[in-house]
Amino acid sequence: MFTSTDSIDIIIPSFRLDEQFLLPLIRLPKPGGWQVNYYIVADNPGVKPGATLLQMAREGVIQLIINTKNIGPGETRNKGIDAGNGSWILFLDDDIVADEDLLFQYVKVIGEKKEAIGFIGLTDFPAPENSFTRALTVAGLTSIFTIANKKDQFIWGVTANIMYKRSALGDLRFSPELSAIGGGEDVDLGARLSMQHHTQFTCVKEARVTHPWWNYGQPHYDRFTRYGAGMALLLSRFKQFSWYAFPNPIEGMLLALLSAPLFFIYLSWQKWLILLVAIPLIDMVINYIRASGMGYKDLSVGYYMTLIRCSNEWGQLKTLLQRGQLHYFMKRINIDFTRPRHFRTNRWRIIKLVIYIILLAVLIY
């Protein structure tokens, strides 16, 4: 097997094996003098590879691995890591469209920064096309994908487009626990690697791919629930980077439910119901104001932002409750892994707090 230091293993986990996206990635122009190996790992025992992929596998253009059972994206990437031995490992998603010079841009930066532990490429999204995708943008769900546009270095990057140095990675692998829930494994591995080597990934905005809108841009929430579950697990793994915050809407509704007996005794169930309904409505109003500030004045943007956020918060709270980790209630994690203050706030949290105080005052008096 090729063992030159000038070699890249491209690992693409896939469930669908959609040739529409995979074939252009396999056929990307290759830099001269570099060995590029493809590991397409299907996490779907029942998948039927297309004729072209099967031919490429027979001819040795790619290595096609089909898992005997579904093991999750992180463990699937681990299979690809262990199957290859290239000096650099490039992770790509199976539904992205890469710029033609993607590999050239990575090779260029490797030549300039051979000691780097890895490189974070730019993962762009198309322009928002409806209220839901505008909500994703305003809510910041795409910001980590485009971190290469904002930073020169960062501690982790999404696996849609990121390169690891194999010698730096060593025996580190994606966490099976995080992979099982499908959220947070990219954060975890990148952070552990950066902390181990006391450095960060270099951002390369020129190494660009475009990611389609999830679910064709249509409303969906299971993905963000999984992300929230991943954040819950990261809290216990990196508790030194956690901090307390005001209750989010899901936590606030749980507190309102727990306080129901006091309302029924001292006030009324009608006032308690007003408080319960007001919690997500107040958040929706704040989200609409935020969206309006970015030029999106459609009321539905605030509505979708609230549902996206609540699905994420529910994933985190549900996971903490299932694990019996109630001491992380109202805790957050800094995903840039800077050491936070014990309590953080911002103008939006302060505005919501003032509204809550006024509402409670009205209900009590």
- DSSP labels for 180-233? HHTSSHHHHHHHHHHHHHT--EEEEEEEEEEPPPGGGG----HHHHHHHHHHHH
List CB contacts of 357: < 8 A, sequence separation 6 or more.
none
Task: Give the pLDDT confidence score for residue 344 in this predicted structure.
Answer: 65
CA-to-CA dists, residue 195 to 52, 242, 342, angstroms? 42, 16, 21
Predicted local distance difference test score (pLDDT) of residue 3: 39
Which residues of the chain have a pLDDT value below 50? 1-3
CA distance 28 to 74: 24
Q: How far apart are CA 24 and CA 28, in angstroms?
A: 6
φ, ψ dihedrals at 2, nearest 5°: -60, 130
Q: What is the number of helices (H) and of strands (E) in the chain?
A: 14, 11
Q: Please, which residues bridge with residue 35 across strands?
A: 7
CB 329 within 8 Å of CB 247? no
Q: What is the pLDDT of residue 266?
A: 77
pLDDT at residue 359 in the model: 85
pLDDT at residue 1, rounded to an integer: 38
Tell me how far apart the alpha carbons of residues 312 and 319 are, in angstroms, rounded to a whole number.
11
Tokens of 231: 């954040």
pTM score: 0.92
Structural domains of the chain sorted by starting position, each given as residue range(s) with its CATH number in brackets: 7-220 (3.90.550.10), 241-364 (no CATH)
The answer to whether 310 touches 250, Cβ cutoff 8 Å, is yes
**Residue 345: predicted pLDDT:** 67
